[in-house]
Structure 1
């Protein structure tokens, strides 16, 4: 395997599948199967999942909700998704631990870096919920920070698009895909990969990012095996 320890970032919107809101059980099952394949290969795996299918703090602010309050509501949404993913993974026989940036002992362990690393070393899939526990930070920032803290080899950002393009491929049919791009090139060209805080964290810590289509079966396994999938930013 090309990587020993990875952090997989999933968007909350991806869990909607064909629905307009909430969690699509078929999509959740698909993700669980994909994750099991790479876990059975001996990979150490941590996951950060967003909450946009339930609530987004930025959207809440537009409707009159205080930004800080909205961000905390968004953190709770990520915990709901994390619990759903945890249940799906355990149904497939994987050992998991859910760690939270907010204190909620009944359902999550508090995030402690050394404990998280120990869980990974013991072969458990670690899911990080509730962001970093502070407002004004996205789950992209959470993914970058947690990946650095657990000394992951790479951040895999699973999306519904198969990489980074010169423009939005869903809107511009002439958009061209990058197979490789440096952090500096991505910054200069204003490519939409992660928010600036998350992107800068990865750049300053030499942590590569791979943006790929998580909805295509086999993509996650191919990346772990070292095949060129999606777009590599390093």
Structure 2
């Protein structure tokens, strides 16, 4: 089985790591993700991962509660490091060599983010997990995924969701008449206000012509299916 993509960025939401429990890190979910990533590594796919932190903390929520927005966002960045270390531990337990790189230096637990070093790790078959967002407040982990994908010259961003299997015209969990899109352009996403990723990340992907595939993480083996060319989920592209 030949992969369609040779270098990918896998974007995992924090909520995906929590599973049905809704908060914290669900060991079964993390182990499932690790085994699916291992399948990609065995196909010689170079895998970079960006993990969110919604299972632990959201900077926007903190700001809404009256916290300083920058401080609230920095707390969210630190929460992504916790998720990244949990994923690293799980990956290495199944024999996948892994490196965590952080945008905020914390050398006791991870490497600082250095683009050329990240690309070298990927070339050596190591999974690289990008943590601590961009290192700046006001930017989401969606934007981090778009930025890192552009920097490391990834061929695609895979956005794995835990509650939907693609992009819909409305929330399918609320509106039974919501229409699922097979393909979309980034302009459609921006024009129609579709909740795929934030507008900064969407514009960055569009400007750098990076395709995005939105699909369900909850079905075992879906990550491999996407990478090997199965048409599941929704493809978002520049044109």
TM-score (norm 2): 0.96
Compute the displacement of 1:187 (Å).
2.1
1:45-99 Cα shifts (integer Å, max 9, x gaps): 0000001111110111122211100000000000000000000000000000000
Equivalent residue, structure 2, for 1:32 = 34
Classify the secondary structure of the residue corresponding to 1:18: helix
State the 1:158 CA deviation.
Answer: 0.5
Shift of 1:229: 1.0
> Matched residues in 1 for 2:124 and 2:187: separation?
37
* Aligned counterpart, 2:120: 118
Candidates 6, 9, 28, aligned match of 2:8? 6
Deviations 1:142-179 (A, max 9, x none): 00000000000000000121100011101101111001
How far does residue 20 in structure 1 lie from its aligned partner after superposition?
Answer: 3.3
- Does the residue aligned with 1:39 lie in a helix, a strand or coil? helix
More off after superposition, 66-75 vs 188-197: 188-197
Which sections of structure 1, spanning at least 5 residues, go unmatched? none
Point out 4+ residue stretches in structure 1 off by more than 4 angstroms.
Answer: none
CA distance in 1, matches of 2:173, 2:82: 29
Higher mean C-alpha displacement, 12-21 vs 42-51: 12-21
Partners in 2 of 1:206 and 1:34 — Cα distance? Answer: 26
Match of 2:167 among 161, 164, 167: 164
The alignment partner of 2:21 has SS state of coil
Any stretches of 5+ residues in structure 2 without a counterpart?
none
**1:225: Cα distance to partner?**
0.8
* Number of positions where the alignment pairs a residue of Structure 1 with one of Structure 2: 234
Q: Contact 2:15 / 2:22 at 8 angstroms: preserved in 1?
A: no
* Whole-Å separation in 2 of the counterparts to 1:133 and 1:9: 17
Alpha-carbon distance, 1:185 to partner: 2.1
TM-score of the two chains, using structure 1 as the length reference = 0.98
**2:154 is matched with which residue?**
152
Given candidates 206, 209, 227, the residue that maps to 2:209 is: 206
RMSD between superposed Cα atoms in Å: 0.8
SS in 2 for 1:8: strand
List aligned pairs for 1:170-209, cutoff 5 A.
Answer: 170-209=173-212
Among candidates 47, 50, 53, match of residue 48 of structure 1: 50
Distance of 1:100 and 1:137 partners within structure 2? 15
Secondary structure at the counterpart of residue 6 of structure 1: strand
